[in-house]
Structure 1
Amino acid sequence: MPLEQSQDYSHILLNNAALLDVRAPVEFQQGAFPNSTNCPLLNDDERHQVGLCYKTHGQQQAIELGHQLVSGAIKQQRIDNWLQQLQHQPNNYLYCYRGGLRSAISQQWLHTAGVDIVRVKGGYKAMRHFLSQQLQQADSRFDYILVGGLTGCRKTTLVAELAQGIDLEAAAYHRGSSFGAHATAQNSQIDFEHILAIDLLRAAKASYPSIVLEDEGRFIGSVDIPKNIFAKMRTSPLVVIERDLQERVLQLLKEYVINMLAEYQAVCGDEERAFVLFSQYLLASLQRICKRLGQRRWQQLDGFMRAALQAHQGGDLAPHEAWLKLLLTEYYDPMYRSQLDKRKDTIVFRGDLLSCKQYIQQHTNINKD
C-alpha cells in the first residue's frame, strides 16, 4: 500500500505544520519554509557524490551509490535523528526538493521503523511555486492601505494591531531603517518571500478585501519587496500617524537601546560581551550613513553616541536622547518628509495612532479578533 502524500499546501502552511526537510544542509540554507527543521538524508558531500554519479552513470547507479554512502551505522543515525525530531513534533510533514526519491526513501525507512509521516507531494519546489503564486496575485487580490509617519510614530505597532495588517518588517526580520538590524541575522530573500506569501494566503483565507501595510522603501535591510506589491504600495491610500518629537525620541530609546541591548544579552548570555556588541551595532549603524549625514553632523552624532554609551555603562540612559533627537531632526525626518511630499496626493488621513486606527477600521469594516 502506497504511503500517504499530501499536496494541500494551504492546509500545511496555514496550520503552521512542523516540516521535516531531508534536503542537504546547503539546500536548506538557501531557503526553507517556516517551522521546518533540516534533518538530511544525504549531507552536502554525499549529495555532491551522488549528483556526479547521476550525471556520469545515470539514475540507477546514483541510487545504488546513495544507499552505499548511507548504510549501516550512518543510516541508523539518520533514522534516529528523524525519530528524535518527530518525538518533539509528532505531526510533521516530510519533504525533499521535488518530493521524489529522497523523501520517498526517508518516508519508507521511517515506516519500517514503525512511524508513518505524510510526504509533501512535489516537495520544496512545488510548495515554493504555490507560495510564489500568492505573491504574484497579491496586487490584484487585495486593495492596500498604507500606514506612514515619521520614524518613531509606532507604525509597526498599528499594523500589528489590525487583523488585516501584514508586517513586512517582521517577515524580513529587519526594522527597515539604518538601525534596523537585529542581534541575529535577518531573513534571506527566499525566507522573506515565504513568510510574506503565507501572510497573504492567510488574509485571502479570511476573505479580507484589503490589507494594511507599513509604508516602506523598496528594500528592507537586504531583502526587497516583490515588484508588483511595491508598485501598488506607491499608489495606494496612505494614512499618516503624527506624534510628538519627544515621544518619538523615547520610542527609539526603547527600540534602538533598551530592546537591542536585551537582544544581545539573550544571544550572548554574558552582559559585558553583550554591551560590547551592542555598542558596535550602534556605532556601525551610524557609520553606514556617514556620507548621507555629512562629516560635520556625523562627527556630532558620533560624539553624542560615544558619550551616551559611556554613561550607559554607569546606568544612565538619558544621554542617549541627545543623539536620538539629532538623528530624527537632522536625518530621518527631512528624508521622510521629502518622500512624503512626492506622494501627498495619496494621503487620505492624518492623526494620532488611535484616530488612524479608527479610520482604517471604519473604512475596512474589520476589527482585530
Structure 2
Amino acid sequence: MTKLTEFTHELPQTDDFRRIVFEQTPLIDVRAPIEFKQGAFPSAINLPLMTDDERQKIGLCYKQQGNAAAVKLGHQLVNEATRAPRVQSWLDFKQHHPDALLYCFRGGMRSKISQQWMADAGQDIIRLKGGYKAFRRFLIDFLDQAPELLSQQNIQPWVLAGRTGSGKTLVIQKLHNALDLEGLANHRGSAFGRHASPQPTQINFENQLSMALMRLIDNPEKPIQNIVVEDEGRNIGSVDIPKPLFEKLKSHARVILDTPLSERLAITFDEYVIQAQQEYPTLTRWENFMRDALLRIQKRLGGERYHRVLHQFNEAQYLQHQTGNIEFHQKWIKILLVEYYDPMYDYQLQKNQLPIAFKGNAEEVLAFFASQAE
C-alpha cells in the first residue's frame, strides 16, 4: 500500500517578494524542468520534485480520475527510493545557502510535499506563498507601475545615444543609476549582437528587468534622481521591453556620446571579433554566425556593398587561419560603420524630436551624469 505524505504541522510560508528581490535570495524551484525552461527567476535553481514524464502522467491521472488518484500515483512514481536523491539535492543546496526558499507553481501540493520531506529529514525551509505564479504576478505588476513610479518620484530618464561602437555600454556599466538593457537581454542590440549563449525567454527577461528596475527606483536607502538607459529600440534581439515602460524611459532628452572613428573601430573590433570569437567553441561556429548576420542585412546593405563586405570578411578569415593575425577584420568593420551604421544613425537622429541635452566624449559624459545626480 502506498504511503502518502503526512503533514505534521502548519508549514511556514512567505510572500515578502520585495525582500527576495533586494536580497537576491536563493530559491529552489521544484517544478518540472519543462516548466523551469519556460520561465523562472534569476536566483533560482531547478531541483525538481518530478521529472517531465512523471508530471505528465500525474497530470493525465488528475484529469481522468481526480486529485486523490493523482496524489496516490505521484507517491508511487516518486517513492522512497526515487525521492531520496531528490531530497538530498534540496538538503545540499540549503546547507550551502541557509537563507534559501522553496516554491512550485502555485505554492500548493508540490512545494508543500517537498517542504515536508525536508522537515522529515531534519531541515526546515520556508516556501513561497502562491509559488511561482504569485511572485511572477508581483514582478509584472511592478513593471506595469514603473512608469508612474518614475513620475511620482521625479526620477528623470536620460537616454544615452551615440554611433555604433561609441562605447555606450562601457559608459552604462560605470554608472550606479543605469539600467543595462542589453546586459539583461544578453544581446548587443544589433544584427551582429547575438551572443553564443542564448537570450533569456521573454518571461525571464521581464522577471530580470522588473527586479533590476525595482532595485534602482524603489530603494529608499539609495534614492536616485536620474535613470540612464542606452538608446535602444523596443526589441533587443528576441525580447522586447513593455511599451509603456519603453515610452517612459525614452521620453526625455538625449545625451550624445561622441567618439572618434578610430576608437569606435577599436571598440567594435574588440566586441564583435576578439570577445565574440572567444565565446564560440570553434572559430567555424563564429564564422557561420557572422555570415548569417551579414545575410540578414543584405537588402539594407545593397548588393554591391554586401559583396564588398563579405569579400573583406572572407579574406580576413583566410588570413587569420593562415597567420593567426586578426587585425584584417578591421577592414570590413570600417565599411559597416562608415557606410551602413553611420548613415542609419544620422537618419534616426534627425528623425527624433527629443532635444539633445549634452554631447561629449566618455569622460565628459560621465562627468555630466555625475553633475545631474548632485
Same fold (TM over 0.5): yes
Q: Tell me if structure 1 keeps the 8 A contact 2:184–2:205.
A: yes
Q: Tell me if structure 2 keeps the 8 A contact 1:215–1:233.
A: no
The equivalent residue for 1:107 is 115
What are the Cα deviations for residues 154-212 of structure 1, in whole angstroms up to 9, with x where unaligned? 11111111111010001100111111011111111111111111111101113324311
CA distance in 2, matches of 1:138, 1:164: 15
- What does residue range 57-206 of structure 1 map to in structure 2 within 5 Å? 57-142=65-150, 143-203=156-216, 204-205=218-219, 206=222
Displacement of 1:85 after TM fit? 3.0
The equivalent residue for 1:262 is 278
CA distance in 2, matches of 1:327, 1:188: 30
CA distance in 1, matches of 2:95, 2:303: 58
For residue 3 of structure 1, give the secondary structure of its aligned residue in structure 2. Answer: coil
The equivalent residue for 1:341 is 350
Displacement of 1:84 after TM fit? 3.2
Displacement of 1:124 after TM fit? 0.5
CA distance in 2, matches of 1:294, 1:88: 56
CA distance in 1, matches of 2:366, 2:188: 21
The equivalent residue for 2:363 is 354
Q: Tell me if structure 2 keeps the 8 A contact 1:6–1:119.
A: yes
Displacement of 1:346 after TM fit? 2.6
Displacement of 1:46 after TM fit? 1.4
Could you tell me which amino acid in structure 2 is paired with residue 212 of structure 1? Answer: V
TM-score using structure 1 length: 0.93
Q: Which runs of 5+ in 2 are unaligned?
A: 1-8, 151-155
For residue 158 of structure 2, give the secondary structure of its aligned residue in structure 1. Answer: strand
For residue 354 of structure 2, give the secondary structure of its aligned residue in structure 1. Answer: helix
Whether 1:303 aligns to 2:311 is yes
Could you tell me which amino acid in structure 2 is paired with residue 320 of structure 1? Answer: H
For residue 240 of structure 1, give the secondary structure of its aligned residue in structure 2. Answer: strand
CA distance in 2, matches of 1:306, 1:317: 12
Q: Tell me if structure 1 keeps the 8 A contact 2:171–2:366.
A: yes
What are the Cα deviations for residues 244-286 of structure 1, in whole angstroms up to 9, with x where unaligned? 111101101100011111112xxx3xxxxx1111212222211
Displacement of 1:56 after TM fit? 2.3
CA distance in 2, matches of 1:323, 1:155: 21
Instruction: Find runs of 4+ consecutive structure 1 residues off by over 4 angstroms.
Output: none
TM-score using structure 2 length: 0.92
Aligned identity (percent) is 43
Q: Tell me if structure 1 keeps the 8 A contact 2:157–2:251.
A: no
The equivalent residue for 2:26 is 18
Q: Tell me if structure 2 keeps the 8 A contact 1:235–1:346.
A: no
**How many matched pairs?**
357
The equivalent residue for 1:271 is none
CA distance in 2, matches of 1:231, 1:13: 25
Displacement of 1:344 after TM fit? 4.5
- What does residue range 200-215 of structure 1 map to in structure 2 within 5 Å? 200-203=213-216, 204-205=218-219, 206-215=222-231
Displacement of 1:57 after TM fit? 2.3
Whether 1:317 aligns to 2:364 is no
Displacement of 1:315 after TM fit? 2.1
The equivalent residue for 2:242 is 226
For residue 119 of structure 1, give the secondary structure of its aligned residue in structure 2. Answer: strand
Displacement of 1:83 after TM fit? 2.5
Could you tell me which amino acid in structure 1 is paired with residue 119 of structure 2? Answer: H
CA distance in 1, matches of 2:224, 2:129: 29
CA distance in 2, matches of 1:48, 1:209: 50
Could you tell me which amino acid in structure 2 is paired with residue 7 of structure 1? Answer: D
For residue 235 of structure 1, give the secondary structure of its aligned residue in structure 2. Answer: coil
For residue 146 of structure 1, give the secondary structure of its aligned residue in structure 2. Answer: strand
